[in-house]
Structure 1
Amino acid sequence: MSVETTPRTSSAPVPHRWRNLFTLTGSTAIDSTEQSAISTIFPTIASALGLNSGHLGIMTAAGKIASAPAGPAWTWLAARTSRKFVLVTTSLVGGLFGVAAGLSHEFWMLLVFNTLMAASLVGGSPVANAFIMDCFEDRRRGQAMSVLYGVAAAIGSFTGPLLGLFTQLDDGWRIGLFTMGAIAIAAGLAQWVLIRDPGIGASEPELGDLDQTKRGSERADLASILSLFRVPTFSIMMLSRMLSGHLLITVFGVTFLVDERGFDNATASIVLVPFGLGYLAGIFGGGAVLARLDDVLPHRGRVWYIQAAQVLFAVAALIGTQSEATSIWYYATFWALMGACQGMNPPVNRPIISSVISPHQRGQAMAIFITVFETLAWAAFSLGAGQLAEVLSIEGVFFWVLGVMMIVNALVLGLLHRTYPRDCVRMAGLLNAQRDRAMQRRADADVDD
């Protein structure tokens, strides 16, 4: 017996989605702050253990290197166990390693525990992103990403200075790490109590009304991972990640203002405040704009938006870094604009990927995007720019990386005008076919009964 089905165009809101989002937002902010805790209080650690900035570089690099394979590994474990289990475990284990780091009495102990902490906490990010995509329908995902990253950034901007207050106490850096570790453990327990996994594909109109067991489970085998790169839009987004030169402004921005514009360190650091505020404005405003664009220009609106973010960043960077001024507020203005343009990206790049990748593969897609390619880009730009700055100056590096390369990135993203609508239609077809098969099996079971 056959059953005739029609594609669904809407689905009821996923239960508990806002509670899930805000719980994961809080834990993301705490995990991110704990990962950066060592950097925040490193001067005090250096004084206590006899370290220097080279040791900080080693720890930072080790954490990034460990994070690259750890992200996909945690996502694989989520597919084998459950996403909630991994979300809770990464926070608990990361918190324990953070406490252990506070017990360190020599550099190698600190290095090992900090690296293990980074490898633990990184697993929560791709799993949380895929989890939230299953809580919100495609049109609302930009707004959900705005909340996740915007609120987390806002919380982080306050917890960083608060963490610095511990350095005024004897062995205050240890107390700070103990405190952050304990908070991360508490965040893990909160996730265990509060979040409710709706299951793979719960927010998809084609699958949402099916029983969770009929939607299928997450795939995390090697063949499935490699198949992601056969999706043209996904491959373009990975290439774009490697061309995302705006990562460099947070690494060398203050150093540029000190070494090549003559400001003292304290004055140059002022630009970090407007940059952070601009980032928040870009990420929250971006989510609202994208919801409107999806109505006016389905599929293509997102492509124009992400291209505009790259071009606007390049313009702000070229004007702000290639001209000289005596006032720090001149630079603060352009740092705010660069922050806003950088903040425009999270609400759009993750929904673009999610709408062309099967719900069953999104966890690994996010792991590759967030932990692998972002790590490669971070390492390439940080190490390469440091070497080029010796030859070209930081201003010269900024011209090519923040300006020219970002325009090239926008041109590469223009390829999405051709691939993205087609990949969205293809994915809708695959989900509808899965729905038809599930409905057919249901009809056959009814006949057998």
Structure 2
Amino acid sequence: MSKNIEDAPIIIRGRWRQLSLLGGAMLVDSTEASLASALFPVIRQALGLSLGALGVLTAAGKIVGAFSGPLWVWAARRWSRRAVLAVSIGLWGVWGIAAGFSQNFAQLLIFFTILAAGYAAAHPIVTEIIGDLFDQASRGRAVGLLYGVLALVASVLGPIKGQLANVDDGWRWGLWGIGAFNMLLGAAIWLWFRDPGRGATEPRLAGLDARTREGELTWSRALSLLRIPSFLILLGSRLLSGHLLLGVFAVVFLVDVYGYTTAVASVVLLPYGVGYFLGNFAGGFMADWAVRRSPRHGLVAVLQGAQFGFAAAAFIGTQFDLGSIALFSVFFALMGGMQGVNPGINRPMVMAITPPELRGSAFTVYINIFEAIAWAVFSLGAGFLGDVIGLQVVFLWVLVILMLANGAFLSLLYRTYTPDAERVQQELQARREQAVQDA
């Protein structure tokens, strides 16, 4: 293995500017989902819904994303990642506007589901592109910064969205605003985004033509993802990621369990988002530090510790009446911080154990399918069980006990992650040697 090839980083010009455009695509996805959860108490009253309706609304969007996400990734492979993002984020905003005119739950569910079908393109395609914009040494910081800034913006918008509860049909205005913003963002992506191409930052593929760098994607190659031990463990961890529930039910939890108004309860979204931002930001640097301290086990230890830390903060922050929204905000900030560490660790881990041509497929499976399954199960279960046994008991099992189990489950990565990452580098080196030989 050539040392100079391995060590020479490839810097994509304008990569941070491109990342900011991609961040906008991710923002509209999270904003649409959080608007529904933040204003659900008002939507519930306006349309005469039960608590279970929030679970149905959230789960439907995630389930349809499990089907539409792979189709968008296939379209991006067949045509252009830029075009797919411009359509799925930009033109799709019309469905957000339509959702604002809903007169009953059936109409709201239909439009929200169609909207989610388009937004499902953002996460796998954007995350794949990040792997092509940033080299392995800077991916953790890039992912952490992206998710952190998104969380910070969402946290600022959270209380603002909550105040829409004090405006007649405020939730409708929120949906109309999101739809219009989507369309503007789609135009910006089409005009200014420049795709670096798959494998652009892999040193072992430097200097090779785009076709060689991108490799061949076949069904057998895509299915080979399921033969990567570390990837299977990370998929299993997604199904145990109970913290996904918090962003959906945080406001309604404080309203139903501790009696706060929607406007007051939505205040916790700001410290939660700030905590998430700091966790994302710190997670990227912690990843680099952990690799230096322990190349074989550092990343796994940080990821595992984040699960245990979240469970501890969730136990105190949800199972006891802390007496004021200020104290609740402290523990929601801690939960956000622990949750925020995850993307800066697990996304680069997926990139490290998969070759460039499989990363889009990997993130489709990881985010659109397995995370969607987790979202659907947690949202539906919490919605219906919350009506029966109460959200506090649901939070104990999902945010505390399940997260402890998740942390323990991740111990399996200590044996598999390093060999899987090394196997990818060996494959890329072999591809380079074959291309040189053919030339």
Normalised TM-score (structure 1): 0.87
Map of 2:345 onto structure 1: 348
Distance in 2 between the 1:139 and 1:349 partners? 14
Could you tell me how far 1:380 is from its partner in structure 2? 1.8
**Structure 1 residue 149, shift from structure 2 partner:** 1.2
Instruction: State the SS of the aligned residue for 1:202.
Output: coil
* 1:32-111 matches, cutoff 5 A: 32-39=30-37, 50-53=47-50, 56-104=54-102, 107-111=105-109
Q: Match for residue 202 of structure 1? A: 200
Question: Do the aligned partners of 1:19 and 1:194 also contact (CA within 8 Å) in 2?
Answer: no
Structure 1 residue 210: Cα displacement:
1.9
Q: For residues 187 and 321 of structure 2, what CA distance do their matches in structure 1 show?
A: 51
Aligned to 2:178: 180
Q: Which moved more, 1:173-182 or 1:357-366?
A: 173-182
Give the partner amino acid of 1:413.
L
Aligned amino acid, residue 281 of structure 2: F
Unpaired runs of 5+ residues, structure 1, are 443-449
Counterparts of 1:181 and 1:397, CA distance in 2: 33
Change (3 A) 1:350 1:58: same
Match of 1:242 among 221, 239, 243: 239
In the other structure, the counterpart of 2:419 is: 422
Residue of structure 2 equivalent to 1:22 = 20
Work out whether residues 5 and 436 of structure 1, in 8 Å CA contact, stay in contact via their aligned partners in 2. no
* Cα pair 2:95 2:111 within 8 Å, conserved: yes
Q: C-alpha offsets along residues 165-188 of structure 1, whole Å, 9 cap, x if unaligned?
A: 777777665554333222211111
Distance in 2, matches of 1:19 and 1:79, equals 23
Asked whether the 8 Å contact 1:11–1:209 carries over to 2, the reply is no
Describe the SS at the equivalent of 2:133. Answer: coil
After alignment, is 279-288 or 173-182 more displaced?
Answer: 173-182
* Cα displacement (A) at 1:146: 1.6
Q: Find the partner of 2:278 among 281, 284, 309.
A: 281
Match of 1:123 among 104, 121, 125: 121
- The 3 A distance-change label for structure 1 pair 321 and 97 is closer
CA distance in 1, matches of 2:23, 2:165: 27
1:286 Cα deviation after fit: 1.3
Q: Aligned to 2:436, which of 420, 431, 439?
A: 439
| 1:446 corresponds to | none
What count of residue pairs does the alignment treat as equivalent?
Answer: 437
Which structure: larger Rg? 1
Partner of 1:290: 287
Asked if 1 retains the 8 angstrom alpha-carbon contact of 2:66 and 2:372, the reply is yes
Q: Distance in 2 between matches of 1:385 and 1:47?
A: 19
Say whether the 8 Å CA contact 1:11–1:203 is kept in structure 2: yes
Q: CA deviation at 1:134?
A: 0.7
Q: Distance in 2 between matches of 1:14 and 1:225?
A: 27
CA contact (8 A) 2:28 2:182 kept: yes
What residue is the counterpart of 2:372 in the other structure? 375
Q: Identity over the aligned pairs, expressed in percent?
A: 44
Q: Which residue of 1 aligns with 2:146?
A: 148
**CA spacing shift, 1:217–1:90, aligned 2, 3 Å:** farther
Once residues 264 and 169 of structure 1 are traced to their aligned partners in structure 2, the CA distance between those partners, rounded to angstroms, is 14
Structure 2 stretches lacking a partner, 5+ long = none
SS at match of 1:361: helix
1:205 CA drift (Å): 1.4
Residue in 2 that maps onto 1:408: 405
Distance in 1, matches of 2:15 and 2:310, equals 33
More displaced stretch, 427-436 vs 266-275: 266-275
The answer to whether the Cα contact below 8 Å between 1:98 and 1:180 also exists between their aligned partners in 2 is: yes
Distance 1:233 1:160, change over 3 A: same
For 1:116, the aligned partner's letter is I
Give the deviation of 1:124 after TM superposition: 1.6
1:313 and 2:313 are equivalent in the alignment: no
Which whole-Å deviations, capped at 9, do the CAs of 1:95-133 have from their partners, x for residues lacking one? Answer: 122233345555544433321111011112110000111
Residue 272 (structure 1) shift: 3.2
Which whole-Å CA distance do the structure 1 matches of 2:314 and 2:185 have between them?
Answer: 37
Cα distance in 1 between the residues matched to 2:356 and 2:438: 21
User: Match for 1:384 among 381, 384, 405?
Assistant: 381
**SS where residue 244 of structure 1 aligns?**
coil
- Aligned mates of 1:24, 1:218 — CA distance in 2: 25
Change (3 A) 1:56 1:404: closer
Deviation at 1:52, TM superposition (A): 2.8
Specify whether residues 42 and 334 from structure 1 end up closer, same or farther in structure 2 by C-alpha distance, changes over 3 A only.
Answer: closer
Give the superposed CA RMSD.
Answer: 2.9
Aligned equivalents of 2:380, 2:136: Cα separation in 1: 37
Amino acid of the residue matched to residue 436 of structure 1?
E
Distance 1:238 1:156, change over 3 A: same
Offset of residue 432 of structure 1: 0.4
Is the 8 Å Cα contact of residues 58 and 376 (structure 2) preserved in structure 1? no
User: What is the distance in 1 between the residues matched to 2:82 and 2:271?
Assistant: 36
Distance 1:55 1:204, change over 3 A: same
Distance of 2:155 and 2:365 partners within structure 1: 27
Which amino acid in the other structure matches residue 440 of structure 1? Q
**2: CA distance between counterparts of 1:168 and 1:256?**
19
Equivalent residue, structure 2, for 1:332? 329
Match of 2:133 in 1: 135
| Stretch moving more, 57-66 or 135-144 | 57-66
Alignment pair present for 1:223 and 2:220: yes
TM-score using structure 2 length:
0.89
Q: 1:113 to 1:384 in 2, by over 3 A?
A: closer
In structure 1, what is the Cα distance between the partners aligned to 2:118 and 2:74? 14
> Structure 2 CA distance, aligned partners of 1:341 and 1:282?
6
Structure 1 pair 170–240 and aligned structure 2 pair: CA distance change class (3 A): closer
**1:274 positional shift:** 2.3
Does the 8 Å contact 1:11/1:208 carry over to 2?
no
| Cα distance, 1:358 vs structure 2 | 1.0
Give the AA of the match of 1:318. Answer: F
Q: 1:276 to 1:164 in 2, by over 3 A?
A: closer
Q: Taking structure 1 as reference, are residues 181 and 424 closer, same or farther at Cα in structure 2, changes over 3 Å only?
A: same
